[in-house]
Amino acid sequence: MRRLLVLGGGTAGTMIVNKLRRKLPSSEWDITVVDRDDEHRYQPGYLFLPFGTYTPEQIVRKRHAFIPDGVDLVFGEVDRVDADTRTVRLEDGRSLDYDYLVIATGTTPRPDQTPGMLGEQWRKSVFDFYSFEGSKALAAAMRSFDHGRLVVHITEMPIKCPVAPLEFAFLADSWLRERGVRDRVELVYVTPLSEAFTQPIAAQHLGAMLDQRKFLVEPDFMIERVDNEKKAIVSYDEREIPFDLLVTIPLNMGADFVARSGLGDELNYVQVDKHTLQSTKHREIFAVGDASNIPASKAGSVAHFSVEIFVDNVLDLIRGRPMTRSFDGHANCFVESGNGKGLLIDFNYDTQPLPGRYPLPVVGPMSLLKETRANHLGKLGFRWIYWNVLLPGRPLPLPALMSMAGKVSPADQPPATATDKE
């Protein structure tokens, strides 16, 4: 009997075991997935908890409900991977052997890595929304916040869902306007980047939207510490940005066991070939989703599209054939912009987000890099797709590789501005 072991029962790990259980005969293959608990959380919902769009109960389900029959679900913390013996050791002393290993343990916010972030203001005036508990705590803080200085801050890139800080900023502006207190709040967006986003055309659009909403933008800000006494964040060049309410995205890092196993980079992301997701050190190990170091967005769409490529490749490898599928870094992300509208961006390793229509030329129905009601409804509707289609490994009518169909290159059309509406 051969053994496939998947570490992580989140988005990527759950999709993988659902797809591969159908393709690997149970008489020949044992499949096991390991995770720390039985709580599967719809992480895109964290963005909406502070504004009351979702309740905590709407974004949490039992993990085992999405693991197919014929797959063993093991609860435990991973201590290390011993690649030489093809063994995974858990912190409680148990060992699990494998023939092929998939690491899908994601990325985690690490406020402990920034001096002062976990100080006396933590969850009082310093909050994050990249964790379930943090998002719930921030919801309570937002309900009582009606004046002062609200700072949205990114510690360092890469982060999970790189557009989420911008989405929070736009939603906060809209939410404060709905409550009639926007003129009593100063909104500040602080980023280590030189622009609002990593891709130039998208950065132009999103930066213009921040300007339109009268945000003070502080670029190139590399945080050194949080000064709890002054209630300020301080950069390495000694710039200080005071706050009354700080919404921070802490440093994101991969799992600690990746470092202990000698498989990761300085942020504990598994080093892989960016096209095959195969470890650069061990041919029988793969990393999928946010756990890898591929130069793509750490987003659910990347997990989805890369899993499609991974499944075909690993089946070829198992059968002794060359892996012929190549992942192109395809990502698409809805960007909530407030006021019941949103944008959509679609890009990959080589092509930045462009204007146009998606997924079909002309008819769309989604618009790229343009605020529309349809994009907002698409973002909200994706929660149902996630639970009922994506996690169970059912096919979605979207190509895994990015297509240029429906996109307009900069040479053909000037980029739209933030004031262009449908």
Token readout for 9 is 């029962």
pLDDT (tens digit per residue) in 149-186: 999 999 999 999 999 999 999 999 999 999 999 999 99
Residues 6 or more apart whose CB falls under 8 angstroms from that of 317 comprise 100, 283, 323
Considering the domain architecture, whether residues 265 and 312 belong to the same structural domain is answered as yes
> How many domains is the chain partitioned into structurally?
3
Token readout for 195 is 């622009």
Write down the pLDDT at residue 15: 97
Write down the pLDDT at residue 413: 52
CA distance 307 to 369: 26
Range of the domain at 215: 111-251
Q: Fill in the amino acid letter for 32.
A: T
Asked whether 29 and 4 are in contact (CB, 8 A), the reply is yes
Considering the domain architecture, whether residues 94 and 129 belong to the same structural domain is answered as no
CA distance 169 to 145: 15
Considering the domain architecture, whether residues 242 and 118 belong to the same structural domain is answered as yes
Considering the domain architecture, whether residues 229 and 279 belong to the same structural domain is answered as no
Considering the domain architecture, whether residues 357 and 422 belong to the same structural domain is answered as yes
The CATH number for 307's domain is: 3.50.50.60
Question: Average pLDDT of 308-323?
Answer: 96
Q: Which of 297, 318, 339 is the last residue of a domain?
A: 318
Considering the domain architecture, whether residues 129 and 238 belong to the same structural domain is answered as yes
Question: Among 92, 75, 108, 91, which residue's Cα sits nearest to residue 7?
Answer: 75
Sign of torsion, CA 142 144 145 146?
positive
CA distance 113 to 298: 20
Write down the pLDDT at residue 31: 98
In sequence order, what are the beta bridge partners of 160? 298
pLDDT (tens digit per residue) in 22-43: 999 999 999 999 999 999 999 9
Residues 6 or more apart whose CB falls under 8 angstroms from that of 336 comprise 47, 167, 170, 171, 342, 376, 379
- For residue 282, the Cα-to-chain-centroid distance in whole angstroms is 26
Write down the pLDDT at residue 363: 85
Question: Average pLDDT of 90-95?
Answer: 97
pLDDT (tens digit per residue) in 227-259: 999 999 999 999 999 999 999 999 999 999 999
Considering the domain architecture, whether residues 128 and 189 belong to the same structural domain is answered as yes
Question: Average pLDDT of 384-410?
Answer: 92
Q: Which of 205, 226, 251 is the last residue of a domain?
A: 251
| pLDDT > 70 in the chain, percent | 97
Considering the domain architecture, whether residues 148 and 204 belong to the same structural domain is answered as yes
Identify whether 279 is part of a domain: yes
Considering the domain architecture, whether residues 116 and 236 belong to the same structural domain is answered as yes
CA distance 47 to 41: 12
- The C-alpha angle 364, 386, 12, rounded to 5 degrees, equals 110
Asked whether the predicted pLDDT for residue 199 surpasses 80, the reply is no
CA distance 130 to 125: 16
Asked whether 65 and 25 are in contact (CB, 8 A), the reply is no
Considering the domain architecture, whether residues 147 and 263 belong to the same structural domain is answered as no
* List of long-range contacts for 179-187, beta carbons under 8 Å, 24+ apart: 179/146, 181/146, 181/147, 184/146, 184/147, 184/148, 185/145, 185/146, 185/147, 185/148, 185/149, 185/150, 186/148, 186/149, 186/150, 186/216, 187/150, 187/152, 187/213, 187/214, 187/215, 187/216
Q: Which of 270, 289, 318 is the last residue of a domain?
A: 318
pLDDT (tens digit per residue) in 276-311: 999 999 999 999 999 999 999 999 999 999 999 999
Identify whether 51 is part of a domain: no
Considering the domain architecture, whether residues 16 and 84 belong to the same structural domain is answered as yes
Write down the pLDDT at residue 411: 62
Helices (H), 98-218: 132-144, 164-178, 200-212
Sort strands 100-103 and 2-7 into parallel, antiparallel or unpaired. parallel
Asked whether the predicted pLDDT for residue 414 surpasses 80, the reply is no
In sequence order, what are the beta bridge partners of 16? none
Asked whether 175 and 336 are in contact (CB, 8 A), the reply is no
Sign of torsion, CA 158 399 414 333?
negative
Write down the pLDDT at residue 412: 58
Identify whether 197 is part of a domain: yes
Write down the pLDDT at residue 198: 74
Asked whether the predicted pLDDT for residue 318 surpasses 50, the reply is yes
Considering the domain architecture, whether residues 100 and 120 belong to the same structural domain is answered as no
Asked whether the predicted pLDDT for residue 418 surpasses 50, the reply is no
